[in-house]
Amino acid sequence: MSVAVEVVGERGQAQVIREVVKPLVAWNADLRSNATLPPGSILSGCRIETNRIAHPESGVEPYVMEFLWSGRLYLCPLFRFQPRTRSLDPQTVDAVAI
């Protein structure tokens, strides 16, 4: 089980920082299209959200990960996100621009 690194952003809100370790397909909410994020991509603002369109009989994943990459909002099913990302070393976070 991985534990994400949490730092405080400009507005005093907790920001979780993760790194992509395997190509990650996610939904770009701004452009309304899928994108593949390459290994090494740094993701900020990571948080688990309830999937608003899911209901028990739908077969749709009940949880999604919401995060920022390159200033854009992305969404990805939690089951896909977890094995393709890792938490960053706390000492590395200082060098990451949120």
pLDDT at 89: 63
Is 31 among the domain residues?
Answer: yes
Kindly state the tokens that stand for 53. 């369109």
pLDDT at 53: 65
Work out how many domains the chain is built from and give that number.
1
Q: What are the CB-based long-range contacts (under 8 Å, 24+) for 69-73?
A: 69/26, 69/37, 69/41, 69/42, 69/43, 69/44, 72/28, 72/29, 72/30, 72/31, 73/28, 73/29, 73/30
We report the CATH number of the domain holding residue 84 as 2.30.30
Is 64 among the domain residues?
Answer: yes
Q: Which domain holds residue 84?
A: 5-93
Q: What is the pLDDT along the chain (98 residues), one digit of tens a residue?
A: 344 444 444 555 556 789 999 999 999 999 999 999 999 999 998 999 887 765 555 566 788 999 999 999 999 999 999 999 999 865 565 555 44
CA distances from 45 to 17, 54, 57, 58, 88 (A): 7, 23, 30, 28, 13
Is 98 among the domain residues?
Answer: no
Is 25 among the domain residues?
Answer: yes
